[in-house]
Amino acid sequence: MNKTAPLWIIIAILSAIIVVASYKFIAAGSTAASEDGRTAVLLSKAERQSVLTEMRTLLEATQQVVKGLAENDMNAVIAAATPVSSKGHGTVDFKLAAKLPLGFKKLGFATHHAFDDIVSMAQAGQPRDEIQLKLVEIMDKCVACHASFQLPEAKE
């Protein structure tokens, strides 16, 4: 038998382990089917609270952007959108991220990036109606997420 054969077998096994772990981290998450047809994302109480706090922060920022647009105050729009943009968002909790399914993560990251767009649009002096349409895109992501996923109370 060739001396390199065992090495290739070990490499193949390690590669398979990495692929499975990557799938678990990136795509699958910690989920279960729910009675209402949505995907239940299974989190600890602290993780659930963290996600809900982020959602409330996004909602509050959205309300402040709407107010800034209504008052034609682009500085207020920028001030509201910047902290929830991808640049102002902060660090990623990798343990929590591993539990979130890919669709949930895609919607979340797209939402933060859309707030980047709002900041850029307001800084560039783009018309309010164009910024409002970007806000509509954000709200579409919120509706899609809430229609697809739920965060049930942890049974600890």
* Separation between Cα atoms, residue 69 and residue 74, nearest integer Å: 7
39-41: strand order across its sheet: 31-33, 39-41, 149-150
pLDDT at 22 over 60: no
Give the pLDDT band of residue 139 (cuts 50, 70, 90). very high
If you average pLDDT over every residue of the chain, what do you get? 89
3-state per-residue secondary structure call for 98-109: HHCCHHHHHHHH
* Separation between Cα atoms, residue 91 and residue 154, nearest integer Å: 24
Mean pLDDT of the 131-140 span: 98
> Any residues with CB less than 8 A from the CB of 90 and at least 6 apart, and which?
none
DSSP assignment of 84-124? GSTTTS----HHHHHHS-HHHHHHHHHHHHHHHHHHHHHHT
The highest-level CATH class for domain 5-150 is mainly alpha
- At position 119, the amino acid (one-letter code) is V
* Separation between Cα atoms, residue 60 and residue 152, nearest integer Å: 22
pTM for this entry = 0.81
Mean pLDDT of the 128-139 span: 97
What per-residue confidence (pLDDT) applies to 26? 58
For residues 22 and 38, the model is more confident at 38
Give the pLDDT band of residue 66 (cuts 50, 70, 90). very high
Q: At what angle do helices 128-148 and 102-123 cross, to 10 degrees?
A: 170
N-terminal to C-terminal alpha carbon distance within the chain:
53
Q: Which residues pair with 41 in a beta bridge?
A: 31
pLDDT at 18 over 80: no
In the 8-state DSSP scheme, what is residue 67? H
What per-residue confidence (pLDDT) applies to 64? 98
Give the pLDDT band of residue 24 (cuts 50, 70, 90). low
For residues 27 and 64, the model is more confident at 64
70-124 pLDDT per residue, tens: 999 999 999 999 999 998 766 678 888 889 999 999 999 999 999 999 999 999 9
pLDDT at 25 over 90: no
